[in-house]
Amino acid sequence: MIHSKRCPDDAILAQTPAPKADVTADASFLSVTESGSSLVLNHQQSADHQASKTPRLLPELSLEDADEVDYPDGGLNAWMAVAASFVGHFFVFGLMYSFGIYQDYYVGLGVGSTAQVAFIGSTGSVFIPGLAIVAGRLAEKFGFRPVVFAGSVLLSLGVFLSSFSTSLPVLICTQGALFGMGASFVFIPSVSITAQWFDKKRGLATGIAVSGAGFGGLVWSLATESLLHSIGLAWTLRVTALTCLVFLLAATPFFKTRIPASKTSQMDLSALKDTRFWFLLFSGFFSVFAMFVPIYFLPVFARERLGLGLAEGARLLSLYNGGSTAGRIVMGFGADAVTGPSNALVLAMWVTTASNFAWLAIDNLSALTVFSIVNGFVGGAFWGLLPTVAAGMFGMNARLVTILSMLYSSLAFGDFGSPPLSGFIKDSFGLNAMVMYGAILALAGAVCGTLARFSHEKKVWKRV
């Protein structure tokens, strides 16, 4: 706002309608700091009284204007945000996906039974989406950087404290709960940041960012196994904690947001009245239950159905993770260039469904290898496309963080419930029943995803 004392020349200005602000004004001009955004032409007389009579020439940008602002779709700040998101996914999901290495090690040490030790990992995995609404609200209120900083400290502290004990309850509280709390605070900003910087390249940028999860799983599995054999459990956890802290804190400054922090203390829950939101939520809910069947039971299937050893089972799981990493990037690029994110997500869900039903007929290693790669590829595409689809449906505005938080919170049920439920079905009814259970849930997810797409856009052959 420009305040001026009335003078002979100003009299004309006061009676002239204020020119409409140019929305394409130079970004540096619009980013004047709040303390200096009001220029006062003070002629040693009181200007406050006259300010009300002077037209407003530079309106402030509001949260609602976010959809109308041009996206950079590139540049240093934009790609550094992608890199920061990649780092966040690399450590959050890399450590979570590699917990199986600790699982075997803890069981060998006598920390607990297989089921008891698994509770350490499942506690961490349920906290990540379970606290998504809290993390999202804090990110909206205070900005991404403080939340990522706090999450980095909590995540690293949880891993570090677990190095001082092999007691099951202590490990559940540290490597499970405390790690999961910190991971959630890192994850929500990581999955939300790229949508603020990209539009035409949003699918590719998001795919690159979330590919850090699959890549992290590969790297941390190998690194953890090597460290455990060379320096032991305690120092493996300490080195891991220090590595997490250093890299996450280094990435924190690059979580630069383009939408200002919310000034209201209330969450925007308007999406709960939107049928598209509910279809999208249930598509994720069912899909995650289905996804954890191959993630946890591919090695078991390989051993019990095909008579393969642990090495072959681990190799199949590595192929699944490799396919997941590729799917996040390739499907993201395809969504930008050809199909649109919603169409790409629906396609990925139906291919997931088809591959899960095909799994029932697999009786040789070659077919199971193809299944592992294909199912991992389209499963990874789901994680890469979900935030892009949400941004396309609901707009790139302040409530997107809340929407993503609610969507990911619903996934906590699958994270926590699918492995034991799948195991129960297998033990009670056999492998085929477990595979069929996953296929039916994948089908339910695909149907809900399709309904979400056509609720958003009814035209079949439209890129959306």
Please, what CATH class does the domain formed by 267-464 belong to? mainly alpha
Q: How far, in Å, CA of 449 to CA of 354, rounded?
A: 15
Q: How far, in Å, CA of 381 to CA of 328, rounded?
A: 4
Q: How far, in Å, CA of 344 to CA of 326, rounded?
A: 15
| Amino acid sitting at position 166 | T
Q: What is the CATH number of domain 74-266?
A: 1.20.1250.20
User: Domain coordinates of the chain in residue numbers?
Assistant: 2-60, 74-266, 267-464
Scanning 6-47, the segments in alpha helix (DSSP H) are 8-14, 27-30
The pLDDT score that the predictor gives to residue 222 is 81
Q: How far, in Å, CA of 52 to CA of 55, rounded?
A: 8
DSSP-assigned states of every residue in 52-71: TTSPP-SPPPPGGGGGGSPP
Profile the chain (464 residues) by mean pLDDT over runs of 10 residues: 39 40 37 36 40 36 48 89 96 86 84 81 86 89 94 98 95 95 95 87 90 87 87 96 98 87 67 92 94 84 85 80 89 90 96 97 95 94 90 78 86 81 87 95 97 92 87
Q: What is the pTM of this model?
A: 0.71
Secondary structure class of 41 (helix, strand, coil): strand
The pLDDT score that the predictor gives to residue 310 is 63
Burial of 394 (C-beta count, 10 Å sphere; 0-12/13-18/19+): buried
The pLDDT score that the predictor gives to residue 160 is 98
Q: How far, in Å, CA of 85 to CA of 288, rounded?
A: 22
Say whether 267-464 and 74-266 share the same fold: yes
Contact 32, 79 (CB under 8 A): no
The pLDDT score that the predictor gives to residue 316 is 84
